[in-house]
Amino acid sequence: IHAANSGDSQAGKGKFLLPGATAAVLVMLGALHARRMYDDKKVVQRKEKGIEPEFSPDFKASLIRLLPLRSMSRFWGSLMEVDIPVFMRPTIYKAWARAFHSDLQEVALPLEEYPSLQAFFVRSLKEGARPIDPDPNCLVSPVDGKVLRLGELRGPGTMIEQVKGFSYSVASLLGTSSSLHDAAEEELSREHIEQSTPENSNAKSWWRVSVASPKLRDQTVLSPKKGIFYCVIYLHPGDYHRVHSPVDWNILKCRHFSGHLFPQNERAIRTVRNLYVENERVVLEGRWKEGFVAIAAIGATNVGSIRVNLEPELRTNRAVSRMVHSLPPEERVYEPEGTGVVVKKGEEIAGFKMG
Amino acid sequence: STVVVVFEAPAWKWKAREDGTFSSASGDFGFCVRPGDKVRAGETIGR
């Protein structure tokens, strides 16, 4: 930093290449980054020992709310849409693939044919690159990614654990009518709950049956009971970013929640409360042969846009004011009511875009 | 970006024994993956 380190000490004396304040900021940033790397390493080590990371809200998580994340996301998206000269494309996409562990062998087109990083990011795959398990009794992964959480929802709270020490409400995530949730809680408080059986449950009572099931199971013989299960899958930047149908089902509704665009890395999951419930997302809800099914595609800062094949007009990550976060979701009900749109297992239903 | 799948599936089935007690029978849903596993679109995650 100091010019006096080289050459004439008289000439260099007192002359800095960087102003003192800038140098101090750089040193501070370096220290913060080192601290962050140290913290992340500690988390990895604890995970290897089988110790789950715990929720620890911090000051930075509060500050992040003040950042114009939507504008940043949109700017990032427009940068990624800039056309790259043809001769540079293979080099850039190979570098991206190396950085984010993408498999270039399964890319549908030659690399030169993707005009921008955005086009490369939303790429399709070669025919047969993702074989679909044909077993009618199985549920397949809708995306490429890493399983973060899975399990069965139990009890009146019906919460999914974001990280040890903090959970979020499934009703809030999916935007399922609060009346259903209220009905479930009312049902629990009634003495005659055992009169209910899954056979008389209708399309709207999945929640009630699920919550009531601990009491129901003691009352019924040879009667298959239903549970509500969940699976949370995180997509890395290098992953294939299209969403496929996990089962044969009927999509009945589509909801779009215009929320924040917080990042979704492991650090954010550990520090930002209600991360998934607050972020912009699209929920497809319907029924399969076993009952209710819903998929929530949740955007992040760098991957903020969600495209839904059934809704070509839907625009996500729009330039909107902060107030829009408190608005109710836009909901679309598919006709004919109760049947909706039939979708086969493995069929592409949605996708993510950068920015 | 993240995807959350929420779905209903058979959770348990109770069968009456001859002595009048109950036992659970097969047919329950079970996951084939665990947290931390990498999955690809189309791979079975539960059966």
| Interface contact A133-B40, CB threshold 8 A | no
Q: Which of A192, A187, A191 is nearest to A205 (CA)?
A: A187
**How many Å apart are CA A97 and CA A341, to the nearest integer?**
36
Question: A326 pLDDT band (50/70/90 cuts)?
Answer: low
| Interface contact B5-A230, CB threshold 8 A | yes
What's the one-letter identity of residue A170?
V
Residue A209 has pLDDT above 60, yes or no: no
Contact (Cβ atoms closer than 8 angstroms) between residue A135 and residue A246: no
**How many Å apart are CA A145 and CA A281, to the nearest integer?**
17
Higher pLDDT, A328 or A8: A328
Distance from CA of A270 to the nearest CA of B (A): 15
Higher pLDDT, A62 or A299: A299
Distance from CA of A31 to the nearest CA of B (A): 29
Chain A environment of B47 (Cβ under 8 Å): 135, 137-139
| Interface contact A296-B41, CB threshold 8 A | no
Smallest Cβ distance to B44: which of A133, A143, A223? Answer: A133
Range among A15-24, A89-98, A146-155 with highest mean pLDDT value: A89-98
Question: Tens digit of pLDDT for each residue in A30-80?
Answer: 998 888 888 878 877 877 777 777 777 777 777 888 889 999 999 999 999
Chain A environment of B10 (Cβ under 8 Å): 224-227, 290
- The pLDDT value recorded for residue A121 is 96
**How many Å apart are CA A328 and CA A262, to the nearest integer?**
19
Residue A233's Cβ-count burial label (10 Å; 0-12, 13-18, 19+) is: buried
Chain B environment of A148 (Cβ under 8 Å): 2, 35
Chain B environment of A235 (Cβ under 8 Å): 1-3
Question: Tens digit of pLDDT for each residue in B6-20?
Answer: 999 987 655 666 666
Residue with tokens 């917080």: A262
**CA dist list (Å): B40 to A119, A238, A246:** 21, 13, 11
Distance from CA of A101 to the nearest CA of B (A): 13
- The pLDDT value recorded for residue B16 is 63
- The pLDDT value recorded for residue A273 is 87
Question: Tens digit of pLDDT for each residue in A219-254?
Answer: 444 455 788 999 999 999 999 999 999 999 999 999
Chain B environment of A153 (Cβ under 8 Å): 6
- In sequence order, the 6+-apart residues with CB closer than 8 A to the CB of A203 are A287, A338
> B8: nearest CA in chain A?
A228
Which residues of B sit within 8 Å Cβ distance of A?
A: 1-16, 22, 27, 29, 31, 33-47
- The pLDDT value recorded for residue A157 is 66
Chain A environment of B34 (Cβ under 8 Å): 147, 150
Q: Please give the DSSP secondary-structure letter assigned to residue A56.
A: -
Smallest Cβ distance to B2: which of A221, A230, A235? Answer: A235
